[in-house]
A and B are shown apart, each in its own frame.
Chain A
Amino acid sequence: MSNGGLLAEAHRQPHWLAPTGWLALVAVVAAQVTGFLISRPDRVMGNLQKIMYVHVPSAWVAMLGFFLVFVASMLYLWRRDLKYDRLAASATEVSVLFTGLTLALGSIWGRPTWGIWWTWDPRLTSTAIMLLIYVGYLALRSFTEDEERRARWSAAVGVLGFLNVPIVYFSVKWWRTLHQVQTVDVTGTIGSSYAISLIINSLAFMVLFAWLVGLRTHVAGLERQREAWLEEQALTGSEANV
């Protein structure tokens, strides 16, 4: 069993985790500052446009995250190693957070721009659906007590959920374009400095994402090691030996 006697390693973070955390902090701050400095306030939307520097990278990173969940889920089904399950669950949690952030910021951006909180914009709508799909994943986990069954079922849900991402996106997009509604089209008023800032911020957010997922997975691993330790106690705790 892969968890036997790992108490010694229990408290040590993977060596790349802490440096990644610092890098993430520096990168995100630097990227945000860059965004504010190098691109001038947008002609139409003013400084509100800067929200995009968090909104877009969050969306991008969440999507990456769900892909990671897909890969980790497939790996679990193939290998049946619980570490892939921990990775998938952690990635889901972090991605759900970023998805929520994307939605909140999209809504906040929309209010002053169009006067309403929600417009059924295809990208925001698809994002909302993805949020629900993965919230379902987390709810399923919370209701399933057996560790192995929870891992198997989550993996199945994670795989199918991700397969739906492109389908949801395209179907909602066609649905909206049929009715000629405005989308969150930011390409109209950008200059290349905006695009550069987006890319820099996206990269910074990816580092942040990696740190958060790494941290969460590590914590999950610690929880598992504690369980393993308690398991051993319970196993040998009673009297008679064979």
Chain B
Amino acid sequence: MSEPAAVALAGVARRFGRRWVLRGIDLVVQAGQVVALTGRNGSGKTTLLRLVASVIRPTRGDIRVFGHHTVHESPSIRTLVGVLGHNAGLYDDLTAAENLVFALRMAGRPAHAAAIAEALERVGLSSFESERVRGFSAGMRRRLGLARLLLRPPRLLLLDEPYASFDQDGIDLVNEFATGIREQGGAVLLSTHDLARAVGVADRQAHIADGLISELPLEEPLRRPAGGFA
């Protein structure tokens, strides 16, 4: 297979202070795959996503995104990766449209009003185009975060708890977008503690427990006292 994997983690470990959040993760995600990361709160899902996005560095191990090393080739990673995190990373005092304009300009793209209007339409926020984000609910902020991703679809999509605070409509939006990325030859890594929502879209489930990862079948993960082999 000459194409590099979308995501390749080898022996990745990360600690905060003395606490090891991830102890030795090996994971490969190929292009065209959607992988659901499951695990309890605090199990390290967010940390893993941040490592892949090159926001933080691993304490040990290597991570490559489409062949690019996250530490040594960080600028390349940033052109390939799109993220929607817990916090959508918006500016409360700007309007929805202005947040998108800013994102486009920062990414070096022209900020066409038509494209912005269309993106807002797709996520159902058209009527809030000129409203300041300060008053937005959590669900609305996520939608705006999705709109931002729509305007610049990434090759690797990283979603952290994308279903939280979403109604069925929002959940469908997320899954639709993820499917779209997959069909364009990209890959998706999403974390959730409610696997049922991703069942239609995810190809695999990777479960994190005690800082280690294991591949599980696509049903609800059984409750285990500690992590182990599938």
Contacts and interface: CB of A to CB of B under 8 A. Distances in A.
Interface in B1-26: 13, 15-20, 23-24, 26
B18 A234 contact: yes
Interface in A211-240: 227, 230-231, 234-235, 238-240
B60 interface: yes
B13 A235 contact: yes
Interface of B: 13, 15-20, 23-24, 26, 57, 59-60, 210-212, 226-228
Nearest to A227: B18
A242 B24 contact: yes
Contacts of A9: none
A238 B19 CA distance: 12
B26 A242 contact: yes
B22 to A, nearest CB: 10
Interface of A: 1, 145-146, 148, 227, 230-231, 234-235, 238-240, 242
Contact of B212 (A145, A227, A230, A242): A242
Contacts of A238: 23, 210-211, 226
B210 A230 contact: no
Nearest to B23: A235
A230 B17 CA distance: 11
Contact of B18 (A1, A148, A230): A230
14 contacts: A1-B59, A146-B16, A227-B18, A234-B15, A234-B19, A234-B20, A235-B15, A235-B20, A238-B210, A238-B226, A239-B226, A240-B210, A240-B212, A242-B24
Contacts of A146: 16-17
A235 B226 CA distance: 15
A240 B23 CA distance: 11
Contact of B210 (A1, A227, A231, A239): A239
Nearest to A237: B20
Contact of B226 (A227, A231, A240): A240
A235 B22 CA distance: 9
Contacts of B227: 240
Given A1-B60, A235-B13, A240 B228 contact: yes
Contacts of B57: 148
Given A1-B60, A238-B210, A145 B226 contact: no
Contacts of B17: 145-146
Given A1-B59, A231-B15, 13 more contacts: A148-B57, A227-B18, A231-B18, A234-B20, A235-B24, A238-B23, A238-B211, A238-B226, A239-B226, A240-B210, A240-B226, A242-B24, A242-B26
Contacts of A227: 18
Name which of A1, A238, A240 has the most chain B CB atoms within 10 A of its CB: A240
Contacts of A242: 24, 26, 212
B57 to A, nearest CB: 7
Contacts of A234: 15, 18-20
A-B pairs, top 5 by smallest CB distance, nearest first, are A235-B20, A240-B227, A240-B228, A234-B20, A238-B210
B43 to A, nearest CB: 13
A239 B17 CA distance: 20
Contacts of B226: 238-240
A156 to B, nearest CB: 17
B182 to A, nearest CB: 28
A130 B228 CA distance: 56
B207 to A, nearest CB: 12
A102 to B, nearest CB: 37
